[in-house]
Amino acid sequence: MSKKIFAINAGSSSLKFQLLSMPDESLLVKGIFEKIGLKEGIFKIEFEGQKEKELLAIPSHQFAVDYLLNFLLERKLIASLDEIDGVGHRVAHGGESFDDSALIDKQVLSIIEKLSFLAPSHNPVNLVGIRAFQKALPETGQVAVFDTAFHQSLSESYYLYPLSWDYYHKYGLRKYGFHGTSHKYIAQKVKEIWEGQGEAAEHLKIINCHLGNGASICAIKNSQSVNTSMGFTPLAGLMMGSRSGDIDPMILPFLLEQEKLSAQQLSDVLNKESGLLAISQLSNDLRDVLEACDRGDEKASLAVNMFVNRIAQTIASYITDLDGLDALVFTAGIGENSALIRSLVVQKLNCLGLSLNQAANEQGQLFIQNSQSQAKILILPTNEELMIAQDTMRLLDFK
């Protein structure tokens, strides 16, 4: 029997939503509320082949949730609120408390709140979204799906930093990793593809490249995360749209002293003023940077080269973590859509036996390796909302 499941991602001034019919995985409704808390908010929604956009004051997340549910009722997209069978919420940080998604109760809410010091920009607003849906749908089961949970399988030798144990015990200073819902989804899809082709899938060695404005790579073995490029925060690892990724840590106290920056100003430099934006001096959007490359812009070309270098270096090191490789996957906005970035990355990995079929790459086919490649190379669209809905179904025990 089909169930209607919401997948929700609450931001500080936004609320993204999808309503899916499960288990057939059909998308019924999707949209977003933007500029929540400001005078002129935006409500965008897509359903039954239609797109609508409204400009209105959206004073709170609670208002947005109530408005959405009323909209669905008025348009007869649902007959009653009882048709909503479950709500899955993206929650940024589960710390060491959650190695899986969790059915939301008072204890889970309390732990999410306590972990807010690890994700002060995200967990509190995730909680606001959860409470808004709990108030609007008090009898409906709610599930928290944590960005960090998939990476709780990392061993100590991968998640610990070479710092005093005191910092780990006092503050939980360790690698947590993010984009876990996307990495888990891709691991699941690759396994399904292998099984569908009649190939052994239980010991698959996968490297998944989630490349968007935020970017991370994950080494996956036996469907478990072995290593991942993001760390204590999503700033670590790869160069990103406006994030620096890994840099020499002593740059931080140096900048604090020389530039007389506050901690918040330094955080803004690293998170909002670095990466592709800083090096290209143009944009945090790779598409803009690539257009500038076509015009012969040297800084744009340098930014792309640095971006590609970091990705290739990380993939190469993760092959050693996995002791081999079966599948290299490109996903998310850049990974799925930029044939050039895929080509440049794999070109750097030719020495490790990876090589592309350029025509398949340009056409965006599922498999893009050539016959000489030592591992399969795939383009796979990620679907975090579907993963949230699947976990919600599982935890609410819907068959």
Strands (E) across 238-354 are located at 327-331
CATH number corresponding to 198-384: 3.30.420.40
- pLDDT of the residue at 256: 96
Asked whether the predicted pLDDT for residue 359 surpasses 90, the reply is: yes
Peptide bond into 23 cis (omega under 30): yes
The residue behind tokens 């925060």 is 233
- pLDDT of the residue at 399: 62
CB 19 within 8 A of CB 2: no
pLDDT in tens, 173-188: 999 999 999 999 999 9
Phi, psi at 310, each rounded to 5°:
-60, -40
Tokens of 254: 């140096």
Rounded Cα gap, residues 92 and 98, in angstroms: 12
Rounded Cα gap, residues 181 and 389, in angstroms: 11
CB 337 within 8 A of CB 331: no
- pLDDT of the residue at 188: 95
Pick 201 or 374 by higher pLDDT: 374
Mean pLDDT of all residues belonging to the chain: 96
Asked whether the predicted pLDDT for residue 89 surpasses 80, the reply is: yes
- pLDDT of the residue at 294: 94
| Residue numbers annotated as active site | 147
The 10 Å Cβ neighbour count of residue 328 is 26
User: Would you state the CATH architecture of domain 3-146?
Assistant: 2-Layer Sandwich (3.30)
Q: How many CA atoms are closer than 13 Å to the CA of 199, on its beta-carbon side?
A: 12
Q: Model pTM?
A: 0.93
Ranges in the chain annotated CATH 3.30.420.40 = 3-146, 198-384
Asked whether the predicted pLDDT for residue 302 surpasses 70, the reply is: yes
Asked whether the predicted pLDDT for residue 12 surpasses 70, the reply is: yes
Asked whether the predicted pLDDT for residue 223 surpasses 80, the reply is: yes
pLDDT in tens, 260-284: 999 999 999 999 999 999 999 999 9
Tokens of 356: 């592309």
